Amino acid sequence: MDIRRYNSQAWDAQVEQHSRWTVPVSSEAIAQARRGQWEVLLTPAIPVPRDWFPDLKDCDTLALASGGGQQGPVLAAAGAHVTVFDNSARQLDQDRHVAKRDSLTLATVQGDMADLSAFTDRSFDLVFHPCANCFTEDVKPVWRECFRVLRPGGVLLAGFPNPAMFIFDSAQLEQGTFIIRHRLPYSELTDITPDQRQALMAKSEPLMFGHTLDDQIGGQLAAGFVLTGLFEDSDPDNALSRHMPTYIATRALKPPSSR
């Protein structure tokens, strides 16, 4: 199947269902950001430390796979020049809605997070990439493209699920029962039954992929980044979070000497 097309349509449907990650920020949040009082999420609960960000004044920022009217508009209100890039047209509509409602200037581009050919080399000072690469089959091209479009000295902020989330039987996990079912890397194209996959698709659930830490963190290093920060987070709606952090956020730098 064309996973990019399916997940694009699934996220469009998530907007109609008012999924948590599709609800735009309020006008008050934008007003506070304009006053310098702002925070954004890479992972479900812990705000990104402010000292992870470069100076946002006129900072050319790519909000990568970050549609939904949440992070991009806040960063724009805080002073950045923001381009929101996402696979879902309806998610990008949410960003345009906030921009129009609150008189913000930001650009929106629809496309595949692993293909940033819409942008030239060294176009951005910051790439902000919240938990989304679990919806692409291969994460390594994402890191390579992030490195390419960043200027030397640019910063990549990324969030992603802990791979341990994907080894358990998901139906049993929702009931608080931990049954190891899958190997890593994990793919809902191949590692669940056709009936299970059809059940997800019937609810317009995006299909997911569980990448190894070798690909998530090692992939950033292989692309040329230097890791400068990391924290773990949890999602209270996930049963595994009662026992261990289930999300990871990283800060990585493109070395100033890079070409």
Does position 141 have pLDDT exceeding 80, yes or no?
yes
Amino acid 127: pLDDT: 98
Residue 177 lies in a domain: no
If one counts the domains in the chain, the total is 1
**CA dist., res. 67 & res. 106, Å (int):** 12
Beta strand extents in the chain (DSSP E only): 60-64, 81-86, 106-110, 124-129, 150-161, 186-187, 209-210, 226-233, 247-253
Amino acid 144: pLDDT: 98
Residue 36 lies in a domain: yes
Does position 205 have pLDDT exceeding 90, yes or no?
yes
Residue 150 lies in a domain: yes
| Phi/psi at 64 (5° precision) | -90, 125
**CA dist., res. 105 & res. 127, Å (int):** 18
Q: Residue 176: which pLDDT band, with cuts at 50, 70 and 90?
A: confident
Q: Residue 173: which pLDDT band, with cuts at 50, 70 and 90?
A: confident
* Average pLDDT of the residues in 102-112: 98
Residue 10: give the domain boundaries: 3-162+210-253
CATH code of residue 70: 3.40.50.150
| Greater pLDDT, 170 or 210 | 210
20-34 residue pLDDT tens: 999 999 999 999 999
**CA dist., res. 175 & res. 97, Å (int):** 37
Does position 237 have pLDDT exceeding 90, yes or no?
no
Residue 259 lies in a domain: no
Is the peptide bond between 245 and the residue preceding it cis, with omega within 30 degrees of 0?
no
Residue 139 lies in a domain: yes
Cβ contact 228:217 at 8 Å = no
* CA proximity to 48, closest of 26, 63, 27: 63
Residue 112 lies in a domain: yes
Q: Which two tokens stand for residue 83?
A: 């381009």
Percentage of the chain modeled with pLDDT above 70: 100
